[in-house]
Structure formats: C-alpha cells, structure tokens
Amino acid sequence: TNGPDGSSHHSLEDIAALRVIPNMTVIVPADYEEAKQAMRAAIEYPRPCYVRLSRTASPPVFGPDYKFAIGKAAILREGSDVTVIANGNMLWRALEAADALKREGTSVRVINFSSVKPADQEVVLKAARETGAIVTAEEHSIHGGLGSLISEILAPSYPVPMDFVAVRDRFGQSGEPEELYQAYGLTAEKIKEACLGVLRRK
C-alpha cells in the first residue's frame, strides 16, 4: 500500500477479489529478489498472473541463490512449536517475531507463502501436523486473503488453533507506511502475541 497517496492507493482487498477468479495466478513477493524472479516466472506462465508489488521499501530476505517457483512455498525457519505463514512485506516481520520468540525458548517455523494461487497445500498440512498451531500474517484485509486461504486448506482435514495478523475490517487511510503498519497492527510484536495466543490453545 502507498499510505501517503491516500485510501485510493490502498490494496487491502485485492487478493480476495482476484483469487476467486478461475485460472488466475496470484503472487505476493517479499523483496526485490523474489519480485524479480516472480515477474520472470509470470511472463513464462501459461495462465494470467497478478503479481502484487509494494512501493514501500522492505529489507532483503533472499539472496541470488533463492529459487522462486509458482505453486511452491518455502520454509525459511524450521520450528516445532508454532508456524507463522506470511508473504509480502509481512515476511521480514514474521522472521523478526520468530527471532524474538526463539530468544524466549519458543521454536517457530516460518513459511514464505508468496504463491497464493496456486497454493502449496502440502507444506501447510505438514506444518499443522508437526507444529499444531498456525499464525498467518499479511498486508491485507482479514477477509478473503492469506489467512482465509490457509483456513480453507486446514478445515477439511487438519484444523488446528489459528490466529490472523491482518487488517481488521477497516478502510485504508493516509499516513506514512510505518505509521499505518502500527495503526493496523501489522507488526512483529503482534505476530509474536498471536503466536503466544495459539500456543495457549494447543
């Protein structure tokens, strides 16, 4: 989202609107390297692709040896207590939250879910079986985005305690990006709190 440009430049509902379109491909890169690879993959892909990009700068997550693939998620940190599934500008915040929890003795698996559609269902089910609790983190409305997708994957066969770090049924507003992340609760601290909450429900 581009906070200073006002609510007309917020994309808090785009994933929900686009992933329901048959044969549409939806990709949410986390940094420059992944965006570059995702664009190349989209050009070669035989179906229409939506690559969600943000003007907001984010720290680099991936090096040149990273290999992006449509339909595949990537486990960035192994963990056994809880899983955080994130994409886009929330991925580095998920890693930051995992580091904070590790210092307190909690083992957190972090999954980059940049390919929203098609989705890597097996990595989600495996995480649910092995960690027993899941938190999703996304720069999107809580309705219809990454959290909804992960719930749809788990509900029929392996439901576990879940929580969602996302925008809670609000319109976009003007402001500096970091101010808006704080206002909407899209922070590493909120991801950490959500992890501790689902752990109590295991």
Q: Is the pLDDT of residue 9 over 90?
A: no
What's the confidence (pLDDT) of residue 61?
97
32: left (phi over 0), alpha (psi -120 to 50) or beta: alpha
pLDDT digits (tens, 9 = 90+) for 141-151: 999 999 999 99
Average pLDDT, the chain: 94
Q: What is the mean pLDDT of the segment spanning 14-43?
A: 98
Long-range own/partner contacts, residues 123-129 (CB < 8 A, 24 or more apart): 123/72, 123/73, 123/75, 124/73, 124/85, 124/150, 124/153, 124/154, 125/153, 125/154, 125/157, 125/158, 127/83, 127/85, 128/83, 128/154, 128/158, 128/160, 129/158
Average pLDDT over residues 16-25: 98
For residue range 56-112, what is the model confidence (pLDDT) as tens digits?
A: 778 999 998 999 999 999 999 999 999 999 999 999 999 999 999 999 999 999 999
Give the right CATH number for 3-200 from 3.40.50.20, 3.40.50.920, 1.10.1200.10, 3.30.530.20.
Answer: 3.40.50.920
What pLDDT band is residue 54 in, cutting at 50, 70 and 90? confident
Q: What is the pLDDT of residues 124-172, one digit of tens each?
A: 999 999 999 999 999 999 999 999 999 999 999 999 999 999 999 988 8
pLDDT of residue 8: 55
